[in-house]
A and B are shown apart, each in its own frame.
Chain A
Amino acid sequence: MTQEIPIWRIKYYPKNLDQVCGRSFVKETLKHIISQKNFPHLLFIGSKGIGKTTIAKLFSKSFLGKDYGANFKLVYANVPLSEEERKQAKRESYVSKSKIGSIAGKTITTPAFIQAKVKPFIQLKVLGDTPFKILVVKNFESLGGNQQGFRRLMEIYGSNCRMILITTKISSIIDPIISRCQLILISQVKFEDFKELIMDIAEKESLEISDSVIDFLFKVSEGKISKALDILQLSSISGKKIELDKLYEDTQKFQNTQLKSLLLISLKGNFPKAREIARKIISSYKYNAQEVFLLLLDEVNKLPLSRFTRSTLINLIADSDFRAVGGRDNDIQISALLSKICRFSEYL
């Protein structure tokens, strides 16, 4: 591609394991594995957006070498299957009757997920002269109770295909899976490493950047490099010298103000307007009801509210979420919560 990539987070995406920012201990471990040419199933644990998938991908790339293209697959456990995939899987497997409690359980029936995405890959023989294939499963915890399906797969096809499971919540991974994997904790980037990376990029983009700005960026991005780069790029548009004030302003843009206004409007008791906003949010972000409830809960904790209001709101949200677990229609469940908040606002 002749044109320069206009999005920094893609432009400065690491090309190999060495380029990954910080985390030297993890890198060392993985390099050791590469030199050994063998590893058990791995389980990557770390908070959201800090580069678990990037590391897993780059690790697989250098492990598999030139056979990377044919022997590597990345699947997302939290992305529901498409219509065709679901139909295909339905034809091939029976519909699961397991009672699923997690968010994703509502949208995915795992036999279908395994049938459609996992099995076709792991059943095929290895191509090239690598010892085995690598399958990366992202957001493994969102499979909920259906992780059970992986137990036998990991044993039967283990010699043919090694899995790297990626999760943010170790507590929701079932024990049998944990016992089959080597755990690798991926920590956040340390400030020194972060600073080094930002300085490097600043030099390449000829930016003027001060220590306090980097400090602020580190705090705001919560260790997510992609987010930090997004903010930095946005600030750089107005000038090569990054000001703290400007940066702060730009950070505000990233915060999802729609949810805040949704909460405020329902606290004013205007139900029709609140419902409209909720629908707009859902259609642009494709949240399901439970994700909206969790985000609203976040907002409730951020807003300056009285102790009574706060506890009542949390109670209402929890109640609605509990119902939405079994429900089918997002809109109805969200409307139910909004109407409750609107009614509650009349007592304030």
Chain B
Amino acid sequence: MRKENLSKKNIEIPWVEKYRPKSINEMALPTARLSGQKVKLNEELINFIKNFFLERKRVNQENSIIRNFNRTVIEKEQKKEIKISTDKAAVLLEGQPGIGKTSIVYALANDFNMEVIETNASDTRTRDKLEKKLKETTKSRGIMDFVTKTKEKLILIDEIDGIYGVKDRGAVPTVIDLIQNTQFPIIMCSNNYKSNLQTLYKKIKRFEVHPLPKREILKIAKKILKNEKITNLDDEALDLIIDKNNGDLRGVINDLQGICQGVIEGDVKELILKLRRDSTEEIFTLVKDLFYVSSLREARTLTDKSDVDYNFLYKWINENLLTFIKSNRDLVDAFDNLSLADEILGRIRTNQYWSLLPYFFDLFAGGVVLSRKDTPLSKGFKRIVFPRYSSGGFFSLTNTEKEFAEKIQKTYEISQVDFIQDFLPFLKILSSTSRKQLKNISDWLDLDAKEKKLLK
């Protein structure tokens, strides 16, 4: 029975893949803006690809002339080879997740009969790897290219905002370098504007892609439902799903699949609410949902599915643990798992042991929420709170404390650590004895109201 179920599930491909548009002309195109001007994305992109190949042809021809010329003259008089200008070599699509940026690229490639070489934030973490993967494909064209006509290639750099960071130092120059020397058109996707990427923005066309209007999403959703022969979802529920996803078409399709394959009976509305992906409330729902799961696998699915940064997520879990887990026996297990997860993350960060990451996920999500054993969750409203207590491990004073310390340091050499742990407590005791003392101290140090408050 169980085996049957599993094998059946494996055959089913995600609907997102199943209904991915094959051609750019048949897909519902999101509206796009290029430096404030509304443009038609499909025309722009088709022109971009066509122009790129024309430009490449021209540049290559000119270069071969230059090369021939260079062979005949001495080194000093040699001309430099020309390159394809960067704004003709690459474009950037920018927009919120799930509105079809990647789909556009694949549909486009399909129309032009090109092969897509994709790289995204998950697999290229360092400059070296990025170079290795992309440079080979962009610079060389393969030995066989001269003999047989192979497919042209389209390079897709997905989640470009994700590849930049401390760990990926040098990734942006690499990408720019890549654009300057490419033999294939490059399309980049990113979720939001990053100031780090400004040097890149200057060199290329940046399209702002906006979410699809609701009626378009509704049209697509209805088409899918019709195709899948699903009838138990009424219009109201469909509306709810679309609203919840806030323009995220991928989210809508995923939700539809989740609902239609998960249950036939039951309260559809409740299920929709559970599946909601609303970005502003996502973390609240996610944390709440996590504590209701009953198996490690469910917890895993939840954390995998979400876009929430795990660096924050485990702090949220730490903050809200007490709401859901009450007994000391369960708490011990929960915190044991959580602190181990924390240690693992620390070791990953200091030593780059990225292979430990799966344990981290399982421990902080599954390990924690499954620590609640026999005690059932009490009914009633559970408030999810923001992790107000953040402790990054760095010693840092508040601004008021810092100013206070500086005032003292003018006359008395004391480190910030000693000030806060040793000297300030004494000042507190001293000033609590009488008003006169408080006045003396604050007059002498010329304290303002905020700093006086520290003494209380």
Contacts of B429 in A (CB 8 A): 234, 253-254
Return the CB mask of B338-355 against A: 1 if under 8 Å, else 0: 111011111101111000
Q: Choose from B166, B391, B430, B441 the contact partner of A282 (Cβ within 8 Å).
A: B391
A285-B421, A342-B328, A343-B329 given as contacts; is B345 within 8 A of A328 (CB)?
Answer: yes
Number of residues of chain B lying within 8 A (CB) of chain A: 53
Contact between chains at A6 and B335 (CB < 8 Å): no
Q: Choose from A80, A138, A234, A275 the contact partner of B396 (Cβ within 8 Å).
A: A80
- State in angstroms the CA–CA spacing of A217 and B456 once bound together: 27
- State in angstroms the CA–CA spacing of A95 and B351 once bound together: 11
Mark the stretch among A206-214, A302-310, A333-341 that contacts chain B. Answer: A333-341
Instruction: Select the residue from B336, B350, B437, B443 with max chain A CB neighbours within 10 A.
Output: B350
- State in angstroms the CA–CA spacing of A335 and B344 once bound together: 17
Contact between chains at A286 and B417 (CB < 8 Å): yes
Contacts of B315 in A (CB 8 A): 329, 332
Contacts of A282 in B (CB 8 A): 391
Contact between chains at B394 and A107 (CB < 8 Å): yes
Q: In the complex, what's the smallest C-beta–C-beta distance from A290 to chain B, in angstroms?
A: 10
Contact between chains at A271 and B420 (CB < 8 Å): no
Nearest B residue (CB) for A283: B389
Return the CB mask of B412-436 against A: 1 if under 8 Å, else 0: 1101110011000111011001100
Contact between chains at B391 and A320 (CB < 8 Å): no
Contact between chains at B350 and A107 (CB < 8 Å): no
Q: In the complex, what's the smallest C-beta–C-beta distance from B58 to chain A, in angstroms?
A: 41
Number of residues of chain A lying within 8 A (CB) of chain B: 64
Instruction: Select the residue from A53, A234, A343 with max chain B CB neighbours within 10 A.
Output: A343
A286-B397, A339-B331 given as contacts; is B349 within 8 A of A328 (CB)?
Answer: yes
Contact between chains at A79 and B416 (CB < 8 Å): yes
Nearest A residue (CB) for B322: A272
Q: Choose from B352, B393, B444 the contact partner of A330 (Cβ within 8 Å).
A: B393
A110 on the B face (CB < 8 A): no
- State in angstroms the CA–CA spacing of A271 and B327 once bound together: 9
B332 on the A face (CB < 8 A): yes
- State in angstroms the CA–CA spacing of A170 and B338 once bound together: 36
Q: In the complex, what's the smallest C-beta–C-beta distance from A80 to chain B, in angstroms?
A: 5
Secondary structure of the B contact surface, majority rule = helix
Secondary structure of the A contact surface, majority rule = helix
- State in angstroms the CA–CA spacing of A256 and B422 once bound together: 10
Contact between chains at A5 and B444 (CB < 8 Å): yes
Contact between chains at B437 and A288 (CB < 8 Å): no
Contact between chains at A331 and B318 (CB < 8 Å): yes
Contacts of A329 in B (CB 8 A): 314-315, 318, 342, 391-393
Contact between chains at B346 and A326 (CB < 8 Å): yes
- State in angstroms the CA–CA spacing of A283 and B420 once bound together: 10
B-contacting residues, A125-159, CB 8 Å? 138
Contact between chains at A106 and B393 (CB < 8 Å): yes
Contact between chains at A320 and B339 (CB < 8 Å): yes
- State in angstroms the CA–CA spacing of A320 and B335 once bound together: 11
Contact between chains at A13 and B412 (CB < 8 Å): yes
Contact between chains at A254 and B395 (CB < 8 Å): no
Nearest A residue (CB) for B338: A332
Return the CB mask of A52-95 against B: 1 if under 8 Å, else 0: 01000100000000000000001010111011000000100001
Q: In the complex, what's the smallest C-beta–C-beta distance from A253 to chain B, in angstroms?
A: 5
Contacts of B340 in A (CB 8 A): 323
Q: Choose from B335, B351, B437 the contact partner of A332 (Cβ within 8 Å).
A: B335
- State in angstroms the CA–CA spacing of A288 and B394 once bound together: 8
A204 on the B face (CB < 8 A): no
Contact between chains at A287 and B430 (CB < 8 Å): no
Q: Choose from B314, B335, B417 the contact partner of A335 (Cβ within 8 Å).
A: B335
Q: In the complex, what's the smallest C-beta–C-beta distance from B386 to chain A, in angstroms?
A: 14
B-contacting residues, A22-64, CB 8 Å? 53, 57
Contacts of A326 in B (CB 8 A): 343-344, 346-347, 350
A269-B328, A279-B389 given as contacts; is B342 within 8 A of A80 (CB)?
Answer: no
In the complex, given contacts A285-B425, A286-B420, A320-B339, what are 10 additional A-B residue pairs having Cβ atoms less than 8 angstroms apart?
A: A80-B395, A82-B396, A99-B351, A230-B426, A254-B425, A326-B346, A327-B346, A328-B392, A329-B314, A329-B391
